[in-house]
Chain A
Amino acid sequence: MDAPKTMEFAHIGKSVIIKGELSGSEDLYVEGQVEGKIELHDNSLTIGPNGQVRANVSGKGVIVQGKLEGNINASERAELKKSAIAVGDIVTRRLAIEDGAYFKGKIDVQREIGKPSVSAASAASSGVAAAAGTGTSTSKSSASDGK
């Protein structure tokens, strides 16, 4: 369900439990349990609806559908789906949080270089989108990404 669209991704299944550091150069989809640290640099991490992660995670994009206890550092985009339970701090350029997601922590949306004013460009520069609940908000998210 909602696995990454690209063919090249690693998958950690429901019954898998990993303790330690994970790093890689392909997208990662987690449905199992991970405790430690996840670093994907230029790739994306998706924590599936059954995934339970207790780790600081970093990557180009981070999507949370399950449980995450730890900080998120997403160089491009972080997304909390409505089923997400996330406890920790988020540092990212663009952020989408669906209605119903549980989040406890700090949010630091970093301004993109070359964009002088955040307030001038609404969601486009700060990148925060109230995704679910209304289609309008969702489309703002898409529009802000220039897709």
Chain B
Amino acid sequence: MVSVAHSFMKLFRGSSEEATQNPAAAKAVRRPSRRSSGLAELSKLLESSDPLCVLDLGSTSPANIRYFTEHGHKIYSDDLLIASTDPDLLIKDEQGNTVVDSKKFLAENLVFPNSQFDLVLCWNLPDYLDESLVKPVVGRFWSLLKPGGMLLAFFHTREAGPDAPCYRYHIVGTDTLEMQHIEPRRDRKGPAGAAGRFRLQRVFNNRHIENLFRDFSSIKFFLARDNVREVLVVR
């Protein structure tokens, strides 16, 4: 019995012991966390007993899947940023410039019935998505959301700088997110970027963001300390 209990407790201690012995492993595991006012605003909706349909557009997050399924919601996971780097999407425009084919992208991604989702979590996707995809993708979000459905997006402010790292956000509490630095993976669909990392494509100001979501019925801004503007929009 004692040995069973010892083995069981070992499971709990495993990571911290490993982290103590191997600082590199500790660094790899440790993720900074941040408060999210947008998520806090959503908490009432998320804790409702009505099952919701949620679309999470970051890379696969076990924490997010656990959070939503624990609350009885259905979750759809789709890593749109990775999908947007598929080399098959590249075409030449009339001027001979290489651009991403937004029609093909939307034919292959975000293919769901209209008005299916109560919530779309697009995190910092618009900041890193190719220019040609941003407006069409936001238009598709509008179609996919139910009337009254909500969308949470993060935008960097100018102060964040062009090298702002691309993060995956993991929900660890009603208003707390853990941030995991992500880079394109060479063993996954799509190529790595020229520098082997996702780069901030542009900085939206408030007016740009309002224009981007002008078809939505309301928009709320939350300015965070880490030079990120959280935006909660309602269809």
Contacts and interface: CB of A to CB of B under 8 A. Distances in A.
Interface of A: 85, 95-99, 101-109, 111, 118-119, 122-123, 126, 128-139, 142
B60 A126 contact: no
Main secondary structure of the interface of A (DSSP, over half): mixed
A51 B18 CA distance: 31
Interface of B: 8, 11-16, 18, 29, 47, 59-60, 62-63, 65-66, 69-72, 74-79, 82, 188
A139 B78 CA distance: 27
Nearest to A110: B69
B14 A139 contact: yes
B60 A103 contact: yes
B13 A135 contact: yes
A101 B12 CA distance: 22
A101 B168 CA distance: 14
B177 to A, nearest CB: 14
Contacts of B72: 111, 118-119, 126
A104 B79 contact: yes
B60 A102 contact: yes
Contacts of A102: 59-60, 79, 82, 188
A138 B10 CA distance: 11
Given A135-B12, A135-B15, A135-B16, A108 B62 contact: no
Contact of B12 (A99, A111, A126, A136): A136
28 contacts: A95-B65, A97-B60, A101-B60, A102-B82, A103-B77, A104-B77, A105-B76, A105-B78, A106-B75, A106-B76, A107-B65, A109-B69, A118-B70, A119-B72, A122-B70, A123-B66, A126-B72, A129-B62, A130-B63, A130-B66, A134-B15, A135-B11, A135-B12, A135-B13, A135-B14, A135-B18, A139-B12, A142-B8
